[in-house]
A and B are shown apart, each in its own frame.
Chain A
Amino acid sequence: MVEAVPVRRLLERHVVRQFMRHKGALLGFAFLVFILAFVVLGPLIWTLDPQFIDIRARNSGMSLAHPLGTDQLGRDMLARLMAGGRASVAVGAAAMLLSLLIGGLVGLLAGFVRWLDGPLMRLTDLFLALPLLPLLLVVILLFREALRAAFGPEAGIFILMVAVMGITGWMQTARVVRGEVLTVKEREFVVAARSVGVPEHRIAGRHVLPNVLSPIMVSATLGMANAIITESALSFLGLGFPSDFATWGRLLFDATDYLQQYPGRVLWPGLAISLTVLSVNYIGDGLRDSLDPRSRSTHAGNL
């Protein structure tokens, strides 16, 4: 046990080194940091109100007063892009975390506890069969009033969206994790741990979970991308945030009518969505490579 600490530290260092070697992952990471700084710190520097309508300045191009121009009502695009990013990234991250938590837990339990496997996987099938849109309609119908009264219109919708996306987005993660757990738990080191009397919950936490981290990471990145896109789709259907509350999806939706006249208005939010999603995917890619036990074992000799 005394040696466990330095070994773990070595492992961590190895993972970081592997990650740094993955150029795409590094670039993706740098871009994500940039986007986070842009949406979190940006509004502190660029203090224009994203909802303020200056109708005389509508449809203006790039200028010092409006670096990315204004929209059809004269709202500053840069400010809206920042505000929109804050909402979109927050929704994406929160929904991803929630679906990861549920999916990971269900997958782990199903793979590890034999008698839970059947019921949990049937539950997963059930959720997979649920049509997302009608479900959303019903959920919004049932809970919007209550949440709006309790948290206000924006926070209420945020909670609702994150909850619904989390609840309807965990199934893939659960399936992948279960499959992975089933293979890992038959591996020698797990059998060895069990034979020396390590309790089941510790085997699950210390030995199985770290080894199924890579598929979890990958589905997390996919989940975040999905959540950002689902949020846009919901805003499109009018089920999302109020129409004047900027999100990237909303900006994109508003701009499609003016695609020919003002392509920039589609370009910026579109670029932000796709680059964020892409960078998260690359990070996931790099993480998988560096966390992969096989890549670790090939370098183990050098440690």
Chain B
Amino acid sequence: MNRSRREAAARQIMEASSPRVPPGLYADALRRGVRARRRRTAARRLAWGLLWAVVVASAVWALTVRPWVEPPSETTPPVPGWTGW
């Protein structure tokens, strides 16, 4: 037997007997699907909420601490009246 005839024979064997779809399949799939969808929505909301909280917290911290301002020196005393060499 050549390849295509062998494959056709295998196909025929596989197509021989078809199972019957159980009546509760749609309801079951819908129930599981709705639950999965709800879980996904909740997870997405939680992730966005966390992101929002992190953004707000870092903004508040930056505005109160102002890390970009140079801190006053603690070791060198200020020299008044210095005009250079």
Q: Do A and B come from one complex?
A: no
Residue ranges of B at the interface with A (Cβ–Cβ < 8 Å): none
Residue ranges of A at the interface with B (Cβ–Cβ < 8 Å): none
